[in-house]
Amino acid sequence: MHLHSFENDPEYIQLQTEMVRMQSWLIETNRRLIILYEGRDSAGKGGAIMRFIRYINPRHYRVVALNKPTEQEKGQWYFQRYVQHFPSPGEIVFFDRSWYNRAVVEPVMGFCSQKQYDLFMKQVVQFENMLIEDGIILFKMWFSIDKEEQFGRLEERKLNPLINWKLSTVDMQAQLKWDDFTRYKELMFAKTGTQTSPWIVVKGNNKDNARKEAMRYVLEHIDYNQKGLTGVGLKTNPDIVSLIGL
């Protein structure tokens, strides 16, 4: 379903109305919200973000998709380049990939050392606990697709000139290194999914359902003014969304 046809879906419009109300509450109460979008290449992270932000106030959100670190950033504390993009009061920051690059992509592709990986895994839970203790609302989403679905989406990237720019060197290795990505993903889930900051795993083979359920989960877990007045269901489908860490 393309963006314009998605907007003809009454349930999507209701969810978007709830998103606008939720954002208004964040602004009025000076709350800060961070949502991480993680998953394999072509899992639908960017598309999900597009649906989240479609109607909310652009003055009060940012989408952050960082390039590979500069030489200067490589010498900094690993989390430093992410912290500088954190939300101000009343703001939402959507991370299209995040500090969890170091948990999966970097070790699989040889972009970090074992020592760097181990240090990250040692620090990340403490780091996130600090954010939550400081009042930041944090959601960590993993969009999950199967190998066949990924193959089809990567082939489309190769052939479609409108999305060919999405194809990266990591994408080219995604199928060959599928099992390696799986191993590091499972390690990440086991060590960084916690009671205070669980992983929200969204089955993403069906893009439309994944996007709706991801929005629904966020809305369900924030107590904003006028919540649910659209009449849309705000309970996520357990066949699509599951939690790791509770």
In a domain, residue 47? The reply is yes
For the entire predicted model, the pTM comes to 0.94
In a domain, residue 154? The reply is no
Vertex 177 angle, CA 209 and 70, to 5°: 90
Is the pLDDT reported for residue 95 higher than 90?
A: yes
pLDDT for residue 1: 45
Q: How confident is the model at residue 5 (pLDDT cuts 50, 70, 90)?
A: low
Q: How confident is the model at residue 164 (pLDDT cuts 50, 70, 90)?
A: confident
In a domain, residue 88? The reply is yes
In a domain, residue 82? The reply is yes
Tell me the per-residue pLDDT of 43-70, one tens digit each, with 9 for 90 and over. 999 999 999 999 999 999 999 999 999 9
Q: Which domain holds residue 76?
A: 3-99+125-148+195-244
Number of domains within the chain: 1
CATH number at residue 68: 3.40.50.300
Tell me the per-residue pLDDT of 204-228, one tens digit each, with 9 for 90 and over. 999 999 999 999 999 999 999 999 9
In a domain, residue 114? The reply is no
pLDDT for residue 52: 97
161 vs 122, which has greater pLDDT?
Answer: 122
Task: Supply the mean pLDDT for the chain.
Answer: 94
In a domain, residue 169? The reply is no
pLDDT for residue 162: 77
Is the pLDDT reported for residue 2 higher than 60?
A: no
